[in-house]
Amino acid sequence: MSTRKTGTTETAPWWQRAVFYQIYPRSFQDTNGDGIGDLPGIINRLDYLNDGKDNTNSLGVTALWISPFYPSPMTDFGYDISNYTDVDTMFGSLDDFKRLLSEAHARGIRVIIDLVLNHTSDQHPWFIESRSSKDNPKRDWYLWHPGRPPRFQWLLGKKRRPRKPNNWLAIFELKGAWWWDKKTREYYLGTFTRSQPEVNWRNMDVREAMYDVMRFWLDLGVDGFRLDVVNWFVKDDQFRSNPWTTNLNPDLFQNHIYDRNRPETHDICRGMRQITEKYNGDERILVGEIFTRITGLAAEFHGYNNDELHMAFNFDFLYQPWSARAFFQSIERWYGAIPDGAWPNFTLSNHDQPRHYGRFKEKGFTEARARVAAAMVLTLRGTPFLYYGEEIGMDNLPIHHADLQDPFGKRTWPIRRFGRDPERTPMQWDSTPFAGFTEHGRRPWLPIPRDSVTRNVAVQLDDPDSLLNFYRTLITLRSRRAELQLGDIRFLIPGTRNVLAYRRDLLTEDGNQTVAVFLNFASRTVLDFQRDILSAERATFGAENWKVLLGTHRAAGSEVGLPTLQACEVLILEPAR
C-alpha cells in the first residue's frame, strides 16, 4: 500500500495544485454564427470557468488545455496543422488568442495549448516543398522511402509500383501507413491519415524548427503545452515491420516497437524541457500524450531525473470498468510506475474516448456514479484533467451517418464505439434551440442532444442539487484544502465490497491537516464498512471523530460514526475538533 509524500505548499508549482479543464474549441462557444466554436467564444465564457473573484457562478477551474486552433485543412479537426504560428480564421486571429491569454491570466487561469509535432498537414509549406522533388532541401524533413521491389517484377516489368516498405498501419484509415507520391515515385509515412505526413525528428533542422515553434508561443506567454502523441515522434531507423499480436484496441494487432516508443524520443523530450526551463524554471509546462495502454511506458516520459515531461498523461482511467477495485488498482499502478519525484495526474474523459458519463451508465444510478467519479478525480493525489461538459453530465450522442465528421468514425462506421464525434458535441449552455452554443441559426458542426433543453449550465447553476453544483463544491473544497492538493495519500479501503476510501494528510506549520474520502461504487447500501478499513489504519481512523465536509447523502457539518454507506454515496470528512 503506497504512501505518497510531497514538499511544502509554498514550494509546490502551480500545475500540481491546478484543476485543468480541456476545451475542444470547435465545440465550446460560437460567436460568428458559422456553427463552429471560436476563440472569442472562449473569452466570452471565461467567467464561467473562473471569474477571478468569488466564483459565485463559476466552475472554479484554474487551468485550461485548449485543443488545436491553428490554420488547418481540418481533415483531423486541427490535429493536422498547416501553420504552427497562427490561428485559423475559423477560430479568430492571433490577436484574439493574445486577448484570450491576457483575459485568462487576469482571472488567474493558466493556459496550455496543444502542439501536434509528430506530423503536419499535407498542406503545410514544409511538406509541399518536401514532396516537390527528391533533392529539395526539405525532402529529409519527412519520412520518405522508395519501397520494396514489387513481387514478380521479372514477369511484370519495372513499371509496377514498389511494395510498401513495411507493415505499419494508419490507424484512422485502417490501411498501410505508407502513401505513394506519384511525382517523385516514393512513399511517405502517415500513421494517422494520409493527410498527416510524419516529420523526421532525426533531422536536426526539423528539431530546431519545432523548438522554435515552442519558443514562439512561450514568448507570447502561454503556460505550457499539451504535446500530441509524444511516443510516436521517432521511428525505427531501419523501418522494420512490427511483430503481430492479439491486441485489437488500440494497437490494431501490432506490437509497436518500431513505429512508436523508440528510446531516442526521450532525448527530444529533454531538449523540450531545457527550452521551457529557460522561461523561469517549472513555470511553463509540458504535458504529453503517450498513446499506449502500457502504464510503465507512459510513466517513463517524466524522465528518471525528472528532466522530461512535467506530466505524462495517465489514460488508465479511460479504460477501467465501474469497479472500486479496478480503480484502486489503476491508481496504485500509476503511483507505482512514475519515477520518484514525478507528479501524478488523472483524467476520466477526453476528445478521443467516449465520455465517462456514458461509459458508466447504470439504470437509476448514472448521475450518482458521475458524482462518485467526480469526487474521486478531484480528491486523489494528482492533477485532475476535466473534459468540457463533464461537469453537467454530457453524454455520448449517437451520430447519424450523414452527420459524421471524424475520419476514424467514417472509416469504422457502423461500429460506433470507435468514432469520436459522440464525445465532441457542442457545449450545452442553456435551453435555447442550439443550447446557447450558437445564436445565428446556422446548424452547429455536430448535432446537439435533445436533452440539452434540461441538461445545461443555466439550468444546473440554478439547481443547488445539480451535478454542476456538486463539481463546483468539490473544486472549491480542493482549492481551500491544501491537503487535497498536495497531501500524502493512504488507502483505507482498497475497493473491497466496491468501496474505495483514502485519507489525505499534510503536515503544515499549524499541524497535521487531514481529509478522508469514502466512495461507494456499489448501487446498494454497504453496511458496517469499518471492518474493511485496513488493519494498520483501523486504530487511527476509529479513534477520531469525523465531521462531514461534503457529502451526497449527509449534510455538511454533521458528525458521523461511519455505520453505513448508501448506494453511490460520496462522503468527505475531516476530523471533528
Quick one: cell of 288?
A: 504529453
Closer by beta carbon to ligand GLC, 163 or else 410: 410
* HEC assignment per residue over 160-174: CCCECCCCCEECCCC
Q: How far is the CB of 172 from ligand GLC (least distance, A)?
A: 7
The question of whether 228 is a catalytic residue gets the answer yes
Q: How far is the CB of 551 from ligand GLC (least distance, A)?
A: 36
The binding track of 190-209 with respect to ligand GLC, each residue x by CB under 6 A or -, is --x-----------------
Q: How far is the CB of 219 from ligand GLC (least distance, A)?
A: 25
Q: How far is the CB of 192 from ligand GLC (least distance, A)?
A: 5
Query: Regarding beta strands 526-527 and 511-520, do their DSSP bridges make them parallel or antiparallel, or are they unpaired?
Result: unpaired
The binding track of 307-346 with respect to ligand GLC, each residue x by CB under 6 A or -, is ----------------------------------------
The question of whether 289 is a catalytic residue gets the answer yes
Q: How far is the CB of 351 from ligand GLC (least distance, A)?
A: 6
Q: CA-to-CA distance for 415 and 349, rounded, in angstroms?
A: 20
One-letter amino acid of 548: V
Q: Does 291 bind ligand GLC (CB under 6 A)?
A: yes
Pick the catalytic residue from 30, 96, 173, 228: 228
Contacts of residue 421, defined as CB under 8 A and 6 or more positions apart, other chains included, come to: 397, 399, 403, 404, 405, 406, 409, 446
Q: How far is the CB of 307 from ligand GLC (least distance, A)?
A: 24
Element (H, E) at 100: helix 94-106
Instruction: Report the residue closest to ligand GLC, judged by CB.
Output: 79
Q: How far is the CB of 442 from ligand GLC (least distance, A)?
A: 25
Q: CA-to-CA distance for 537 and 256, rounded, in angstroms?
A: 43
Quote the crossing angle between the two packed helices 204-220 and 94-106, to the nearest 10°.
Answer: 50
Closer by beta carbon to ligand GLC, 236 or else 352: 352
Residue from 30, 38, 76, 251 touching ligand GLC (CB under 6 A): that is 76
Quick one: cell of 431?
A: 435551453
Quick one: cell of 323?
A: 469497479
Q: Does 352 bind ligand GLC (CB under 6 A)?
A: yes
Q: Does 74 bind ligand GLC (CB under 6 A)?
A: no
Q: How far is the CB of 123 from ligand GLC (least distance, A)?
A: 15
Q: CA-to-CA distance for 310 and 266, rounded, in angstroms?
A: 13
Local structure of residue 551 (DSSP, 8 states): E
Closer by beta carbon to ligand GLC, 226 or else 497: 226
Closer by beta carbon to ligand GLC, 84 or else 192: 192
Contacts of residue 138, defined as CB under 8 A and 6 or more positions apart, other chains included, come to: 126, 129, 130
Closer by beta carbon to ligand GLC, 38 or else 76: 76
Closer by beta carbon to ligand GLC, 82 or else 485: 82
Residue from 96, 122, 228, 308 touching ligand GLC (CB under 6 A): that is 228
Q: Does 229 bind ligand GLC (CB under 6 A)?
A: yes
User: Which spans in 194-310 are helix H?
Assistant: 204-220, 265-277, 295-299
Nearest to 241 by CA among 166, 176, 179: 166
Residue from 59, 116, 290, 573 touching ligand GLC (CB under 6 A): that is 116
* Cα distances (angstroms) measured from residue 283 to each of 32, 92, 235: 34, 27, 31
- Tell me if 241 sits within 8 A of 167, measured CB to CB: yes
Q: Does 286 bind ligand GLC (CB under 6 A)?
A: no
Say how many CA atoms lie within 13 Å of 451 toward its Cβ.
9
Q: Does 86 bind ligand GLC (CB under 6 A)?
A: no
Give all strands (DSSP E) within 302-420, no chain letters: 311-312, 345-347, 383-387
Nearest-5° Cα angle at 325, 324 to 328: 85
For the segment 428-457, give every residue that binds ligand GLC (CB under 6 A): none
Q: CA-to-CA distance for 164 and 180, rounded, in angstroms?
A: 8
Q: Does 251 bind ligand GLC (CB under 6 A)?
A: no
Residue from 15, 28, 69, 79 touching ligand GLC (CB under 6 A): that is 79
- Tell me if 574 sits within 8 A of 546, measured CB to CB: yes
Pick the catalytic residue from 114, 122, 289, 488: 289
- Tell me if 395 sits within 8 A of 412, measured CB to CB: no
**Site size toward ligand GLC, by CB under 6 A:** 10
Task: Give catalytic residues, as residue numbers.
Answer: 228, 289
Residues binding ligand GLC (CB under 6 A): 76, 79, 116, 192, 228-229, 289, 291, 351-352
